[in-house]
Structure 1
C-alpha cells in the first residue's frame, strides 16, 4: 500500500478490454467483462535513490491459482515486488426479477521503483497472467531529480585493506553519522549500499541482533544498530553502526559505487491538542560516501599443502576422539573430529584422511568420499569409522588440517593429538576352534528331561548302517572377525594355507 495520504495517487493508468485510458487522480478502474490490470504510482516529485511506491490491481481472474505479475527490468533503476494481497468478494444482483450471484477476485501487487541516478525512466508495462488469461497496464515515465547533499549527515563503509581472497571473511562496518542537534528532526531514513547489491560476487552474513531500538534501513531491510557519541571536526555526532561479514565468492576486480543516505529533515512543527510536536514541513537531504575498488584473488597454488581443503581464516584447531583404544585387527573405530577457528568453519571440509599427514593406508582402512559435518556453537563436527589393518599399529597418528591465512598471506597447518592404541592380532575361526557344548545332566535339564527317551540310532531305509544321533555345539567365545590381508592368509604355519581344498582368491 502507499506510504501516506500526502503522497497522492497522481497517476492512474488502466488497460481493460478496450483501448488505454489515462486518468489523473484516484479513479476506479474501467469496468470490463474480462481481466483488467490497473497501475497506480505515488505522487511526485521523484528523486534519485528514493523508492517510488507502486500498486498494480488485477481483477477478472480466478481465485486459484493466484495470478502472476511480470515486468521487464528498467536500465538504471530497480523494481522490487514487496507484497501480494489477494481478496475475493461475492455479491448478488436482481435483474428482471432474476437473482444473479457473482464473485470477483481482486489481487493487489505492491511494488517499488528506485531510480539510481537523476533522469527520465520508463517503468512498465506490467503483465498479469493466469493460464491463457492476461491483462497489461501501460507504462509511465518518471523524471527523477537530485536531492541536495548535506554536511549534517554522513554515511561510511569501512573494511580492512585488500586485496582479499576467495572465501575470506571480511568484516564490513556501516555507519550513519548525524549531528547531535539534528537527530530529533530526522524522519524516513533510508540508505542505499551498492556493495550489498553485488550478490553475484559476494555473500553477506546476517548481523547479530542488538539490544537497542536503533536501526539503519537499507532498501527494505532494517539492520539493528549500536548507538554511540563521537566528536569529530569540532562537532558532536550521534553514530549508528552495524557490522556484517562479506565473503568473496569469485576472483576479480569490482568497482563499487558510493553509498548514499536519504533522510527527511523537518523544518517546521505544530502542536496538537496534547502539546505534541507534529511535523508540518520537511526537506529531503542526502549524504554520499566514497566509492571503492575491491580486488579478489584466487587462493595461491604455490605452497598449498595436501591437507588443505579450502578453509580460509586463522587460528584453526582440530580435535580427534576415538570411541575405543583397545582393538583387534579389523575392528571398527569410531572417530569424532571437531574443527574450530576464526574463519570459514561452517563451510569447511576435511582433507583426505588417508595418506601423508593423516592415516597411512597400509595401516588403516578409511571410507572413501567426503565426510559430512554438522555445524553448531561455532564448531563443525565430523564422524567416520576406520579400521586398523596391522597389529604393529600403536596409535592413531596426528591428522593435519591446513588453511590459508589472509593476514600472513600464507598457508598454516595444525595437527590433532595422537591417540594411543593397543592392537591385538585378529583370531581366525577354523574347525578346531568350534567348541562343543558339554551335555547337561538330568539334574540340570530338570524333571521334563527324565520323561524323554534317550537318543537312539535309527536305521535308514534300505538296511544301511544306523546313523548316530547329532551332537549339539556352540561357538562360545569364538572370534568372528574377518582377515582380509592375503599375505597373512597365506603365511606359513596357518593350518589352512597348505590345504589344496581351500583356494585363496
Structure 2
C-alpha cells in the first residue's frame, strides 16, 4: 500500500519563559522553564546569565514533536532549578535565543522571596506546582495534561492519545500516565496492546475504564488505561511510546474505509519526557526517609498495654498515603529509656484503585527492661509534600505501657532490683562459708540438673522435628490443591495469580509487589517473561484467552511448582 503524505510545518517562532511560582521563601526551589516553539532547526542551548541572590542549576532539556491533521509542530523546553539565597524582589532577566539568524528575547520575570514559614499556594494546573505560564496561563491545559496528540486525523476511525498528570515530578512522586484508545467503527479480532516499559521508575496498574466520548462532533467508544509511575532518580526520564494494533471490521457505508491492508491499523503515541526534580536538602528533618506525596496518615498502637518486665510487646505503625509501598520505609523510633526495640516485620495491603493509595504496616517488637509506666511519645515520621514544596512531620498519639515487676535476678546473695519489694519472711540464705555451702558448689549443681537438661533437649528436638514434618506436609497439600486450580485455569491473568501464590509457597517468601528487577533474581527467566505477558494481557480490551499461550504458561507453571519435574 502506497501512502502519500502532505506535511505542513508551523512557521511562527515563539520564545517564552515562565516561573513555577511568583512567590517563594529563601531556600525553596523554583522551576524556570524556557520554551521554544515553531523552530525548523535545532537551536543551541540558551545562555542564561547569572542572577544575583539565586543559585541556579540546569535540570535538562526536552523536545516534543506532534502531528495533527497533517500539520507538524515542535517545541523545545529548557528547565532550570532556581534556589533563592536572600530575601527580596529578584528579577530574572530577559534571555536571548537565536533561531535561523533571527534573535528572540523573553520578557523579564519577577520573583518575590520571603522568609515566613507559611505555605505558598499551589499554582495553576498544567505546570509544576504553583506554576503559571506566559500571560498568566498554565502550560498543558487542565490537570497538567500534555496536549492530546492523536496519531491519526480526527476523521479517522481509530485514534490513540496519552497524557501525564505531571511533567516535573520530584523523586518518588506519583505520576499518572493515561492512555486512550478511541474507535468509531466495529473491530475484528483482538486488540494487541504494548505498554511502555518502566525504565528508571516503579510502575503499578491503576485499572481500565470504557465510555463514550465526542470528538469534533463524532461519537467514539473510548478505552482508557491508567498507570502509576514513581521515578526513582532525578534527571530526564522518558516514557516510551505506547503501541497498539487492531483490525477494523468492514463498513460498506463508510466512504473512508478501505480494504487495503486488511483493515489493520498500527498506532503509537508520542514519547513523554519527565524532568524529575531532586528533593531539597534544606529543612529536611531527621525522621524523613524518602516518602513523597500529598496525603499521608500515621497511626501507632500497642497490641498490649499491661505486661510483665522482660515480656515482649508489639508496636504497630501504619503509614497510608499516595506513595509506592517499596518506597515507604520503617520509621525511626525515639530513644525510649528502658525499652529495647528489634527489627520490624513489614506488610503492605493491596493499593486502592483508581486513585493510588497504599498502606504499609511495620510491627516492631519492644521488650521493657524494668518495671514501671513507660510514656511512649515523640514517635514521628516525615514526608515531602510536592504541592507546597515542604517537608511535613506527622506525630503519633502518645501511648502508655504499664510494666509489672522487674527482670529476675540470679541467686547468690545479689541485691534485688531497685524498687523491688522486700520479703520480710525470707530468712538468711546459705552461703559457701555455711555448713550447707557444698550444695552451692558449681559441680554439684551441674550434676543435679544434667538429667533434666538432657530430657529437655530431646523433648525440644522431637517437637521441632514433628513441626518441620507437619509444615512440609502442609505445603505439599497446598501445592497439590494449587496444581488442580492451575489445570482448570483458562486465562493468562488467572494463571499469573496462581503463579504468585504457588511460587511464594515454593520459595518461602512474598513475591507480590516486588519490582521486576528483584523478581528476576528470584524466579527463572521463563517465568518472569510469562508474568510480563500476562500483565500486558490485562490491558487488552478483549483480554487474552489464546489456548496455545495459556497451555504454554500452564505447563511452565506446573513444572516450577513441582520443582523442575515435568
Q: Using structure 2 for the length normalisation, give the TM-score.
A: 0.40
Q: Which has the larger radius of gyration?
A: 1
Kindly indicate which of the two structures has a greater share of residues assigned to strand: 1
Kindly indicate which of the two structures has a greater share of residues assigned to helix: 2
Q: Using structure 1 for the length normalisation, give the TM-score.
A: 0.44
